[in-house]
Copies of this chain bind each other. A is one copy, B any other.
Amino acid sequence: MTKQKATNISWHKGEVTKEDRERLLQQKGVVLWFTGLSGSGKSTIAHAVEERLFQRGFLSFVLDGDNIRHGLNKNLGFSPEDREENIRRIGEVAHLFAQSGIITMTAFISPYRADRDRARQLLAEKEFIEILVKVPLDLAEQRDPKGLYKKARQGEIKEFTGISAPYEDPLHPELIIDTGEKDIQESRDMVISFLEEQGIISPNKQ
């Protein structure tokens, strides 16, 4: 657990609430937390959802390993402690984004249940939507968009999720997308439909 070191602080309540911003944007501020193996399609689906939401006039933003690693988390490596801190910071930033009213998507392997559950606990019920992007390992390895599986098999990358490090399936994800069976468009539409069903976006705003 992360210790609270900072003292002499008090919570500053803004004048404009999350609900105010949601009315302005005509959407709910939530976190869609995509989790799954490297090569499962998390980031690709998230960006496809972002594009579709934009076309319909909704505001969303994708936090993914690639852009977060270059910025906020560039001082973290891949040790167990750093991986945990990586996901902790992402959870906190996603929480801030959701407070601003944005439909926030995070696309990280995030292999550990405990880390994802901590991110969930920062948000109200129904504001954290865990999306398991499932794919058979052999298919992910066949896609290998960044050549990482090859390096992992050759021992050049240690503790690689699915090869030499575990992936813990979510026990109760809000949504499961099997990209061994669904293509990107179908996967995207599953997410959009879920957002409509949950009242996060209005089906009437096209």
Interface residues of A (CB under 8 A from B): 2-6, 8-12, 14-16, 20-21, 24-25, 43, 47-48, 50-51, 54, 57, 59-67, 69-78, 82, 85, 89, 92-93, 95-97, 99-102, 122, 146, 148, 151, 157
Task: Say whether B72 contacts A16, CB under 8 Å.
Answer: no
* Apart from A8-B146, A72-B93, 17 more pairs, CB < 8 Å: A3-B74, A5-B74, A5-B75, A8-B157, A11-B67, A12-B47, A12-B66, A15-B50, A21-B54, A24-B59, A59-B101, A61-B100, A71-B95, A71-B96, A97-B100, A100-B100, A100-B102
Answer whether A6 and B92 are a contact pair too, CB < 8 Å, given A12-B64, A59-B21, A59-B24.
no
Task: Kindly identify which residue among B59, B73, B99 contacts A6, using a CB–CB cutoff of 8 Å.
Answer: B73
Task: Kindly identify which residue among B59, B64, B122 contacts A25, using a CB–CB cutoff of 8 Å.
Answer: B59
Task: Say whether B89 contacts A72, CB under 8 Å.
Answer: yes
28 example contacts (A-B, Cβ-Cβ < 8 A) are as follows A2-B75, A3-B74, A4-B74, A5-B75, A6-B70, A6-B76, A8-B146, A9-B65, A9-B69, A11-B66, A11-B67, A12-B43, A14-B62, A15-B47, A16-B54, A16-B60, A21-B54, A24-B59, A25-B59, A59-B59, A59-B101, A61-B100, A63-B96, A71-B92, A71-B122, A97-B100, A100-B100, A102-B102
In the complex the two chains form, what is the Cα distance from A156 to B61 in whole Å? 43
